[in-house]
Amino acid sequence: MKYTNLPHTDIKVSKICLGTMTWGNQNTQDEGFAQMDLALDKGVNFFDVAELYPVPATAETYAETERIIGNWFAKTGNRDKVVLATKIAGPGDYTAHIRTTGFSKKALNEAVEGSLKRLKTDYIDLYQLHWPERETNTFGQRDYKHNPNDKWEDNFNEILHNLDKIVKSGKVRQIGISNEKAWGTMRYLQESKQHNLPRPITIQNAYSLLCRPFEGDLAEIAHRENIGLLAYSPMAFGVLSGKYIKGNAADNARLKLFPRFARYSSEQATEATKRYLKIAEDNNMSLAQMSLAFVNERPFLTSNIIGATNLEQLEENIDSINISLNDDVMKAINKVHASIPNPAP
């Protein structure tokens, strides 16, 4: 395994992070336990979860993933071996069963306390805001379209002040943001600098061969402000395994169970995937390992959040850390990207 530090800290994390959002839906508790055992054995010390998980989010399965992790901590005593990240859900129709109060003081306190209880721990290493409260182009929306009727009011300072109290209580060590854009990222950094408030040290956004918008303004911010990318969906919901275009996806594959998550299955995304598959096969790699190795080697990456529904997938994904892509492979990848840029933003 390879390791780095969370930016601005001495907290060492593996460059592969264990994603967990299938546990409690596609995966049972026992399967989640087995994944955590294997990941830890292979040097993965960084786990990412959210109160929202498992996804798709429902009232019946709310926060089940956190409960599974908490039960594993209780069973194994491994809490001190894991750097643990979780998130408060942002507002939206699909989170109304959780709360409708956004990132208010009451919401933050309630969410942190709930996560601590379910995770059976007295501290969270990295606490993240799952997506912005304001209306912006997240989750597959390519361009920003301003809504003059958006009722959101600037509350970056208020959120950081409330998080400051939680950090000082010892319940949270560091904070991060997720599904955020360049403007929101800089506003958080501006407020933290000007008012000596907690600084977001990571940004968890989608990033893969099919989704590279982070390489625009956010990549410059990541480098110049030292805020590290936690890349999620590096396998594009399993599309970048090649199993859908090969026709050998299992019945419990994510896009078979939940076809509404179709942003990675457009005609352009499918054509790009076919081209990436050929590059991988021509260079004696699986598409999964090439896709993950590409993300692992990005200079703005802090950790690559991988997920799997079985141990064989998980082991292959973790082992991508041992693969380096040569210049010829990178040239071929970037040729596809130039021809079909960001088909699944």
Active site residues: 53
Say whether 16 sits in a helix, a strand or coil: strand
| Cβ atoms of residues 264 and 239 within 8 Å | yes
Q: Which residues pair with 200 in a beta bridge?
A: 175
Whose CA is closest to 301, among 240, 215, 239?
215
DSSP letters, 202-265, are EEEEE-BTTB-GGGTHHHHHHHHHT-EEEEE-TTTTTGGGTHHHHT---TT-HHHH-TT--TT-
76, containing H or E segment: helix 64-76
Tallying the residues shown for the chain, one arrives at 345
The closest of 263, 209, 254 to 231, measured between CA atoms, is 209
Residue entry with tokens 């026992």: 30
- Which of helix, strand or coil describes residue 201? strand
DSSP 107-159: HHHHHHHHHHHHHT-S-EEEEEE-S-SS--S-TT--S----TT------HHHH
DSSP 95: G
